[in-house]
Amino acid sequence: MPNGSPKYPWFDLIDGDEIEQGDIIENFPVFLPPDDLVVGPASQTASVSFAWKEQNVIVMSQSCDLVKDREKVDDILLCAVWNRSELAGDRALGNKEGMEDARKGRLPAFHVLAPCTISEFEREARIVDFRRVHSSPVPFVRSRVKAATRLRLLPPYREHLSQSFARFFMRVGLPIDIPPFTGKRNE
């Protein structure tokens, strides 16, 4: 970066149970319903066992909805975060071309985060996976984060993530598309 150019850090360190969009929570428990779960009438009660796994996640709910003691949501929306090295065998992201396509926004299901260079919190490049969305109750998430230092994605990168998330969900598939322009006059 040339001298005098502004610096825009990607991350900051956060402690406590204040939660904002862009907070990365490592080793967060996500719950997985059994494949054979059968739901009966609303008046019927049943006991079901859910499996869970630890997953790195990033908060996608809007910060204004998560203000402590004034929450506007009951559950926090979270997306999976993968380390680049975890995706070495992935068909779409396991090579430089796929990562470059994701970085440029050509793979709408993914968003690339820069490596973190904060001392003791160094992390490789990571990929946010919009196809893996979870939600957890606000009090549960607060209880999980209050004792651990975590990374927070900073502006303008947080807003860029949010915009990518919106683009992924606002896609519209058309039943019949306009045919490709081949050089002949399309009618």
* Number of domain units in the chain: 1
* Residue 77: inside a domain: yes
135: domain CATH number? 2.30.30.110
User: For the segment 145-164, what is each residue's pLDDT rounded down to a tens digit?
Assistant: 998 999 999 999 999 999 99
89 within domain boundaries: yes
pLDDT at 135 over 70: yes
Read off the pTM: 0.86
d(CA 35, CA 140): 24
**Residues 8-63: tens digit of each pLDDT:** 899 999 999 999 999 999 999 998 888 877 776 766 666 777 888 999 999 999 99
Q: How far is CA 93 from CA 28, 55, 97, 125, in A?
A: 23, 18, 8, 12
The answer to whether position 103 is within a domain reads: yes
Reported as a single tens digit per residue, the pLDDT across 71-100 is 999 999 999 999 999 998 888 899 999 999
Average pLDDT score, the chain? 90
Domain presence at residue 1? no
pLDDT the model gives residue 76? 98
**Residue 2 included in any domain:** no
Q: What is the dihedral of CA 156, 82, 72, 147, to 10 degrees?
A: -100
Residue 127 domain-assigned? yes
For residue 183, count other CB atoms closer than 10 A to its CB: 6
Say how far apart CA 154 and CA 31 lie, in whole Å: 28
Q: What is the pLDDT of residue 45?
A: 65
In a domain, 39, yes or no: no
Model pLDDT, residue 4:
65
Question: Domain of 143?
Answer: 12-30+51-169
Whether residue 102 is contained in a domain is answered as: yes
Dist CA 7 CA 183 (whole Å):
46
Asked whether the beta carbons of 56 and 25 are under 8 A apart, the reply is yes
